[in-house]
Amino acid sequence: MTVILASHSCYSCNYEMMNQGRAVGKSFRFQVEMQQTEPTPKVGINGRAVKMVPASEVVKRQAPATRKVEQVNGVKQVINGNGASIVRRKNSPSLVKMPISRVSKDLPPLEELKILPSDENFSWANENYSSLQRSIDVWSFVISLRVRVLLDNAKWAYAGGFTEDKQKKRRRTTASWLRERVLQLGPTFIKLGQLSSTRSDLFPREFVDELAKLQDKVPAFSPKKARGFIEKELGAPIHVLFKEFEDQPIAAASLGQVHRAVLHNGEKVVVKVQRPGLKKLFDIDLRNLKLIAEYFQNSETLGGPSRDWVGIYEECSTILYQEIDYINEGKNADRFCRDFRNIKWVRVPMVFWDYTATKVLTLEFVPGIKINQLDALDARGYNRSRISSHAIEAYLIQILRTGFFHADPHPGNLAIDVDESIIYYDFGMMGEIKSFTRERLLELFYAVYEKDAKKVMKSLIDLGALQPTGDLSSVRRSVQFFLDNLLDQRPDQDTTLAAIGEDLFAIAQDQPFRFPSTFTFVLRAFSTLEGIGYILDPNFSFAKIAAPYAQELLDIRQRQRTGSQLVQEIRKQADDARSYTMSMPYRVQRIEEILKQLESGDLRLRVRVLENFLTV
């Protein structure tokens, strides 16, 4: 998997406005250059008003009488003789003026937002926190966790005798301790904990469930740090960049937090700010984690080579470094938007590239009701059944058609707009299924549909999920058992994707499976969406929603088979014709020779009669 003043790359996942020729012009900072004293109303060719901002509303700074360009830290400052300044980033897209987007006036009260206290009490947020101390803290955590896990699995460590109930209770206690320690260790481990919550093939169920609670409960950092970081990244003071900026974040994640703001042209936006010092912290943590992964790799009690801990580390490392590149996240949002440009019921916030840098991302403010807030949805009269269907359909489109999917579709990243369209947030963790992998996934789908364990295993080997080593007969029996239990279910039985995933990962714990992160993200995402579907609609049926897409795949398969058979037949006929054509001169010559022999009497016809036919 893979991943500067008011240009809009995408609007509400609807590029039609580009095609309809909406008005374009100069941005509000160009209005400052022109020194407008009165707002000049403009109307686009579609009749929609375009808001202009008078220069009097934009803060100016004194500048020399002559216009010049200064460049500091990759940021160009254009100083005009009239006293106004413009801040432009390298390689910024052309500045265009777009119509103001529709924004709900129902902004959520800040007291309703669940933001944990500031991170300033955490050691990892301290500027004087040394690399040595950090390494000591990381290894202390790993050793403590290792001892706890050993005690959880040691039957002699249970007073009054070992029972499975006692073990589950102790594992839950360890899992709770793990979550608290991960939170104390900060961003790297919080993100790794979130990634681990998708890997029930690697970790006990109790750990996976507890780590899933890390999703929304992350401490914020101070507004002073946020402002300073934005000004450093974008190269201008906050009051020059924004007409309004809210110090209180509306959301905090493991890698950054989000503030509301208003541009000088009145556009309401959200500004995602990365945690200061994050790259340095990642470098230290990932160096230590690589050593830990190598230790796990050589440990028989921790799965050894069958788990490929080093490979898992490399996947996580790649994901983490991609997520702290907000330019990459902005590109992801744009691509996701393009993929859904013809789907009216999916909305993606547009990126304001002129207010975006590697560590700051500015997006259109698109408020909505969280997809799992049933009371709020019902109060608006929304059709929950339709919403649940659209949530699954959108993901099927991502997996089976575009190959580019949102890898973290939990309720915090999905909301419902006023027209019941689904709003997607947070494009830092995206997955991409290459054409080869998608073809192998389709082969796996067909093999499961045909209930063919041998083909399923071949597809898993092609996907890199199954290591073709040793005797795989036991693996084949496990796969066949899985298929029998999956496909022999009666329609009225409750077989959920979560249960299927647990069964599949249970097989993986005892067999030479290693599911790629893409595979686990897809399965976890479907499982999460299925859970949301049941919450929204008690009569929700994943199979019913997926049926048209499954039929589409089967139709494609049938056409491929028919086409393949036709191609083979044509090739055979062509080969026969070519062979016949190549031998024709010889055949003609031979016929001429036979006729000559018949005419001259040199050709004798010999007839052999079996003796038993002559016996009377």
Which of the residues are catalytic? 408
Handedness of CA 528, 395, 367, 190 (dihedral sign): positive
Token pair, residue 476, equals: 């084949």
Rounded Cα gap, residues 273 and 252, in angstroms: 10
Beta strands 116-118 and 219-220 are: parallel
Rounded Cα gap, residues 389 and 372, in angstroms: 14
Helices 497-510 and 517-536 cross at an angle (nearest 10°) of: 150
Token pair, residue 343, equals: 């789907």
Helices 517-536 and 542-600 cross at an angle (nearest 10°) of: 130
Cα distances from 551 to residues 269, 545, 547, 561, 597, in angstroms, run 42, 11, 6, 15, 66
Three-state secondary structure call for residue 211? helix
Three-state secondary structure call for residue 96? coil
Rounded Cα gap, residues 78 and 55, in angstroms: 17
DSSP state of 86: E
Rounded Cα gap, residues 448 and 456, in angstroms: 6
Rounded Cα gap, residues 219 and 50, in angstroms: 39
Rounded Cα gap, residues 26 and 20, in angstroms: 19
Rounded Cα gap, residues 523 and 407, in angstroms: 10
Rounded Cα gap, residues 102 and 43, in angstroms: 17
Q: What is the DSSP string of 472-513?
A: -HHHHHHHHHHHHHHHT--TTS---HHHHHHHHHHHHHHTTB
Neighbours of 459 (CB within 10 A): 22
> Which of 358, 438, 356, 353 has its CA nearest to residue 404?
438
Rounded Cα gap, residues 583 and 367, in angstroms: 77
Rounded Cα gap, residues 540 and 386, in angstroms: 10
Rounded Cα gap, residues 301 and 528, in angstroms: 31
Q: Which residues contact 152 (CB under 8 A, 6 or more apart)?
A: 167, 170, 171, 174
Token pair, residue 218, equals: 């992350």
Rounded Cα gap, residues 38 and 31, in angstroms: 10
Q: Which residues contact 325 (CB under 8 A, 6 or more apart)?
A: 3, 358
Residue 101 C-beta-side C-alpha neighbours within 13 Å? 25
Residue bearing tokens 């160096």: 287
DSSP state of 154: -
